[in-house]
Amino acid sequence: MTNIPEVKLGIIAVSRDCFPIGLSISRRKNITAAYKGDIYECPVTVENEADMIKAVDDVYNAGCNALVVFLGNFGPETPETLIAQRFHGPCMFVAAAEGDGDLINGRGDAYCGMLNCSYNLGMRHLSAYIPEYPVGTADDIVKMIDEFIPIARAVIGVKNLKIISFGPRPQDFFACNAPIKGLYELGVEIEENSELDLLVSYRKHAGDPRIDAVCKDMAEELGVTGNRYPELLPRMSQFELTLLDWAEQHKGARKYVAFADKCWPAFPEEFGFEPCYVNSRLASRGIPVSCEVDIYGCLSEYIGACVSSDAVTLLDINNSVPKSMWEKSIKGTYDYELTDTFMGFHCGNTPSCKMCADRAVKYQLIQHRLLEPAGSDPDFTRGTLEGDIAPSEITFYRLQCDSEGVLRSYIAQGEVLPVATGSFGGIGVFAIPEMGRFYRHVLIGKHFPHHGAVAFGHYGKALFEVFKFLGVKDISYNQPKSIPYPTENPWK
């Protein structure tokens, strides 16, 4: 993954001046000794504001971009919270549990200090990550650090991200409406271009000497059976290079880039292919390319890539599973009702590494019907990567700015079932507990669009914390039957 941050973690211990400073220092050293990863141990223990300045300068000079602020005892609430204000990166606040000494000179009262710490963070309107139970021994805090790393990676990524779009969105496709106000609230930059800008750049890449190497890489990835149109590879390679060069030349002051591109109806005829396979290849490297100028879908994918350090995809929450398929292949084998299942589909943007072995470059059936003569062989509608999505645990999620400028999100964990779809595109049979109720009272009830991002694993806990850290107040999930939705009719 070449487009996501590397977290360089530091730890700063704090100490209230009426408690032994040695308690914070020894407890900090116990944490760094127990932690198996890389962590910079700041030698400055913060008791006052002058110490705070020295400590933050020290971790900056050490190259840290994320911090653990450790209350080894009660802690000085003003200096410790000013660390989060002065340090421009995500901070986790944790506190020491008792038990490593007596309860006279060895008692630190960090359990109490964490209350004042959170109160002070709130008064200063500072975002910080505080674990579900933030008090622990060195071994406990090591586990908290491990959970903090993907959260920090996503926050750093978002704060250094530029989304590059080529639009506008397709006609009569308001699902991809994207008020940019929410992006600026999150700290994301956006560069909006026209589809014509992309076409001009693509044509300038004709004859690029790097095309042959990209063609070879594509052929190796697809294999003999997956490479159905070898004559198409030079065109797709030229496009891949166009996007990569645009990212490098236009990211400006930002470190990371993601794309939201228009892909129909004009694109295939003017470029000579469908962009889906190329989009899938970039997504596998941590550079999401969302379909249909879905800017918040693109952002959602990028967050998932940072959290999982893995390839992600963007799918339509597309069609119901036929009852006959459910009865034959799911009922009695998997603990899912028919309404828990649906098919996730897109034309062919899911990375090859997340699909079944028989995936191949094919043609976009819907666009072929629409854009090419009836009965003709597909021509410029070729370029989709199609096949069933491989069975896997998944997290279906999205961060969206609604038409009123309010950031909303949802997260639902489930799986892709090993059930053949018998359909076209990049597609899979998805199962999410209580999907039917979630579909009605979250996706429909809160006016979410039809695209959802997919991370391949259960990452709901980390995503929930990322959205909280980013200031998203509305985070929905697939609630069990025992917890009705506010809009759910109790007399159904």
Looking at residue 169, its pLDDT comes to: 81
Q: pLDDT-derived band of residue 168, with 50, 70 and 90 as boundaries?
A: confident
- Among 436, 218, 209, smallest CA distance to 317 is for 436
Looking at residue 173, its pLDDT comes to: 78
Domain contains 289:
yes
Count the domains in the chain: 2
Give 137-158 pLDDT, tens digit per residue. 999 999 999 999 999 999 999 9
Clarify whether residues 252 and 391 are in a common domain.
Answer: yes
Domain contains 155:
no
Clarify whether residues 41 and 88 are in a common domain.
Answer: yes
In terms of Cβ atoms closer than 10 Å to its own Cβ (0-12, 13-18, 19+), residue 257 is buried
Q: What is the pTM of this model?
A: 0.97
Determine how many CB atoms are found less than 10 A away from the CB of residue 486: 6
Clarify whether residues 211 and 293 are in a common domain.
Answer: yes
Phi, psi dihedrals of residue 326, rounded to the nearest 5°:
-60, -45
Determine how many CB atoms are found less than 10 A away from the CB of residue 406: 15
- Rounded to the nearest 10 degrees, the angle between the axes of helix 138-159 and helix 295-308 is 150
Looking at residue 2, its pLDDT comes to: 85
Final residue before a domain boundary, out of 123, 148, 173: 148
Q: pLDDT-derived band of residue 438, with 50, 70 and 90 as boundaries?
A: very high
Domain contains 78:
yes
Give 451-472 pLDDT, tens digit per residue. 999 999 999 999 999 999 999 9
Amino acid (1-letter code) at residue 482: S
Determine how many CB atoms are found less than 10 A away from the CB of residue 124: 13
Final residue before a domain boundary, out of 88, 123, 148: 148
Q: pLDDT-derived band of residue 440, with 50, 70 and 90 as boundaries?
A: very high
Give 70-87 pLDDT, tens digit per residue. 999 999 999 999 999 999
Confidence check: pLDDT of 171 > 90: no
Clarify whether residues 453 and 324 are in a common domain.
Answer: yes
Give 253-283 pLDDT, tens digit per residue. 999 999 999 999 999 999 999 999 999 999 9
Q: pLDDT-derived band of residue 385, with 50, 70 and 90 as boundaries?
A: very high
**Separation of alpha carbons 290 and 261, rounded Å:** 6
The residue to which tokens 């920090």 are assigned: 152
Clarify whether residues 83 and 217 are in a common domain.
Answer: no
Domain contains 485:
no
Looking at residue 174, its pLDDT comes to: 72
Tell me which residue range forms the domain holding 144. Answer: 9-148
In terms of Cβ atoms closer than 10 Å to its own Cβ (0-12, 13-18, 19+), residue 320 is middle
Clarify whether residues 99 and 223 are in a common domain.
Answer: no
Domain contains 191:
yes
Clarify whether residues 208 and 303 are in a common domain.
Answer: yes
Clarify whether residues 121 and 169 are in a common domain.
Answer: no
Domain contains 449:
yes
Final residue before a domain boundary, out of 91, 122, 148: 148
Looking at residue 175, its pLDDT comes to: 67
Domain contains 82:
yes
CB 380 within 8 A of CB 272: yes
CATH number at residue 47: 3.40.50.10940
Element of type H or E holding 283: helix 276-283
Clarify whether residues 433 and 382 are in a common domain.
Answer: yes
Clarify whether residues 77 and 173 are in a common domain.
Answer: no
Clarify whether residues 78 and 42 are in a common domain.
Answer: yes
CB 120 within 8 A of CB 77: yes
Give 305-340 pLDDT, tens digit per residue. 999 999 999 999 999 999 999 999 999 999 999 999
Structure tokens of 434? 């209580």
Domain contains 22:
yes
Q: Distance of alpha carbon 401 from its chain centroid, rounded?
A: 16
The residue to which tokens 């095309």 are assigned: 211
Clarify whether residues 358 and 420 are in a common domain.
Answer: yes
**Separation of alpha carbons 348 and 350, rounded Å:** 6
